[in-house]
Structure 1
């Protein structure tokens, strides 16, 4: 199968170069690589000019096309006619050598699969289950012979009965699903949500959908919105053999106030894309979980060294939460 790699980047030339070097080591190389650069300087362009990568096309976009969803749509519009699979990667990832080979294998295995996501192995916290040890269900999540140590926010939710019974990356009616990912079992897991750091789709999908321009700039949760809408055309899976590392480069990220506000507003938007008319119980649980998360961020002001970051994040969440009373986001149906 022919496949294209689209990398949308913003002010991360060094991280991008590291990613492209890992692409060069792939056992199956992309038929084309499209770099869509929204940077407001020339550093990324210079990096590309001074390094030779096969099948690579570089595009520097203007203000009108800047922002993650706009850049992705820009890239899609320039994919070659004969391409069958379109792969997206965050610019701060590094691939394992068989990454693309496994992506294509998974699409070939099942024609009903429309989207494939990978696993960030450097963030994978799953451990083999010790049969001689008893695990507290509020502190550990178990799956396929592995256990996942829950973080503080999930332990709070477990004790308060605010945890989803669905597997990770599957959205319950109150939206807040598990974020544990999956153990490296070698299996594929059917999911609702793919993560933007690593997601690939059949090109035929883009005859019907594009990325929503509701998600401006940094575009928090735009990947969730798109993968939910993709479910109308097939299955999404996370393949634990599709492996990479994700390093969360701080360059190009919004300030924490904007981020906190997006957590609430964009989170509400994605929730209502999946569940336009949630039950009263689901609405209560959605708000209750955000209350727990806000409490933890306020607690971080006194329990961590990043006090300013935690405070501005918390203020953004409060502003975003209150804004939902007077100015709810309008769902964009025709995207």
Structure 2
């Protein structure tokens, strides 16, 4: 199937990157190359981590300033060998099961009709069906679809493989023919909320995508900082509107209906538990609505975490 590469975009997370690279070094099948794009404010710690693994892993290290998830990914793609046929994009806070890459390679070789395949995230929230979430078009079983309101239905930690309409940006393998035809939209700079949905949903209109139930990992999220929560809330609404505006299939009244539910849920969650700072996301949501009303969504830009 040709060579398999990994692209890891990172920023100021040397400890997390160490855990990820350790799990890659322990794989039953190693990738042919690993490209690390570092957007850190202070590069030496991340560079030192990469140097620790140079004897055991085929690492290429590059920096990019200013950072931005989609920009970092596009730079990584430009550095791929011409012999590479599959590329895995991994978040820097993942830990892979020891057979993840081997199981992914087996899947890709036996099911060549799929051009994008995601890993299962073991510790992803296994949300149960909810009447309210369905009422507001916030979810859709069995998961992995994009709802009528333009939101990605959660991908549960399934045990078997399944077809999907979107896949995670940071736990996913793409055929290089897709990366030649499609580009990550650099409008989703900085935090990149929904950029994975934007890219993979676009691809799914023409090529089948899947989740590989045997290739698995863990994702250890970092808690959001209080000072960023208003920005997150703004980004949540603005990027959602930007995404649905790129396609004709979404009913904007349903989108606004769903946005209202998410905004109210943030307020209620914030009032119930002040430690979540979700009331600050609610304020950001209101700002996001104002940007929709004043037609500022196309020019709104992301922010760095």
TM-score, normalization by structure 1: 0.82
Partner of 1:295: 264
Structure 1 gaps, min length 5: 126-147
Q: 1:100-151 CA deviation, whole Å, 9 max, x = no partner? A: 11212222122221100011112353xxxxxxxxxxxxxxxxxxxxxx535x
Distance 1:84 1:77 in 2: 14
In the alignment, the residues of structure 1 paired with residue 226 and residue 107 of structure 2 have an alpha-carbon distance, to the nearest angstrom, of 32
Rg comparison, structure with higher value: 1
- Rounded to whole Å, the distance in 1 between the matches of 2:161 and 2:241 is 28
**Matched position secondary structure for 1:214:** coil
Mapping for residues 186-265 of structure 1, pairs under 5 Å: 187-250=160-223, 255-265=228-238
Contact conserved, 2:138 with 2:149, CA < 8 A, in 1? no
2-side partners of 1:46 and 1:321: how far apart? Answer: 43
Matched residues in 1 for 2:164 and 2:259: separation? Answer: 23
Structure 2 residue aligned with 1:141 = none
SS in 2 for 1:26: coil
Q: Give TM-score, length-normalised by structure 2.
A: 0.89
**1:259-298, aligned counterparts within 5 Å?**
259-273=232-246, 275-276=247-248, 278=250, 282-298=251-267
Tell me, yes or no, if the aligned pair for 1:15 and 1:249 is still in contact at 8 Å.
no
Q: Residue 156 of structure 1 contacts residue 292 of structure 1 at CA under 8 Å; is this kept in 2? A: no
Match of 1:70 in 2: 71
Q: In the alignment, is residue 60 of structure 1 matched against residue 63 of structure 2?
A: yes
| CA displacement, residues 180-203 of structure 1 (integer Å, 9 cap, x when unaligned) | 52522xx22111110123011001
Which residue in the other structure is 1:157 paired with? 133
- Structure 2 unaligned segments of length 5 or more: list them: 300-305
Indicate yes or no: 2:84 matched with 1:112. Answer: no
Inter-CA distance 250–9: structure 2 relative to 1 (3 Å threshold): farther
TM-aligned CA distance change 1:254 to 1:16, over 3 Å: farther
Aligned to 2:289: 321
The answer to whether the 8 Å contact 2:271/2:279 transfers is no
SS of residue paired to 1:84: strand
Report the secondary structure of 1:75's partner residue: helix
Change in 2 beyond 3 A, CA 1:5/1:252 = farther
Let me know the Cα RMSD of the aligned residues.
2.2
Show the counterpart of 2:52: 50
Q: Deviations over 1:161-182 (max 9, x none)?
A: 6455553121133223431525
Indicate the residue corresponding to 1:83 in structure 2. 84
Q: Does the 8 Å contact 2:138/2:147 carry over to 1?
A: no
Instruction: Give per-residue Cα distances to partners, 1:202-249, cap 9 Å, x unaligned.
Output: 011122111110101111111111101222442110111110000012
Deviations 1:14-68 (A, max 9, x none): 00000000000111100000010000102211222234342111111222xx200
